[in-house]
Structure 1
């Protein structure tokens, strides 16, 4: 079969048994300047630059002393915190196993589990001043369901932040296209001085992800 005459009903195998879609993903990774930069600078993922860019825009890490990383895997965000705020206490949680990061306490558990919030709080000597979440639900292929599942995680993360943050603290979370829903946005505006949405340059143009940035926690 010559190029351009593939049967669209078949899954075309490429090098080493990869499918065409996985081959396109690999090609994109190899040509992605953020991936190359992450390897050169020792970050575990290109996602590190999303936090770096958001920090440059909003000053998220300025004065951060106790940080909670929700959905820490593979660890790029916590690596950024350790680099920029080496004396800060950092605790992270994820369902996935995460290779140790010097200076970071990591829990492998479900953030939605009842015991998770207490474990995170107990690992810090005081209330956090920055809660960051790069969590997203595993997709099932149904757009509305995927959106609801991810926003459920965002809402839980927001309530955790409101219950634990010290006054003046910051909450950062990944949301999907369309941003934070009305009820959650209203909740954040009640508890934070400023609430904004941003899409850092490191977030791929074709991605539906945005980030909500809530700063200046007013208290409970």
Structure 2
């Protein structure tokens, strides 16, 4: 079993690499789309987990599929008994373009930039979706790069995905910190040599089998406060 302990941070990172889906975007609203096509809203969460599983499987077998393609395929499975699967799938997929930010994100992003930290994203979803989310939320100016694995060799948590972000932002792994709500993403980043922060919005226990986060915070403002307490990178 992988150790879940992590040494204390000695300084702030230079660059924060933020995940997008669920970390910054509030995807609970997709449940409304499921209801609108006649499907129980609780199916939204297992659908998203299933599409990530399929994406990981494809990555492990040497493919780098488009997030939207995997999402649509997974929806076809969930909605297979609907009268008009294609129309229902289009309606749910369109919901990605209307998702809001989590309530803590705008203030948290401003607090992080106030510390002089560079911000970028690395999403398994498309850069277009992230750009739209940030424009609607009024935080696009805070991010120097909006990166997606669609331009990387593989999906996260493959090491090559994180290496792509580091190269694009011209930083070393030791100077970067991933920020995500997903323990699998934290684990992948740690395995690739980055530091990592876990945003624990639900209070659920962190999986003991995975590499532990260097910082655990309940929100982005909480993360900013924890990083502010550390010496700045020199």
TM category (shorter chain) comes to: 0.3 to 0.5
Larger helix fraction of residues = 2
Query: Whose radius of gyration is greater, 1 or 2?
Result: 1
Structure with bigger RCO (C-alpha 8 Å, 6+ apart): 2
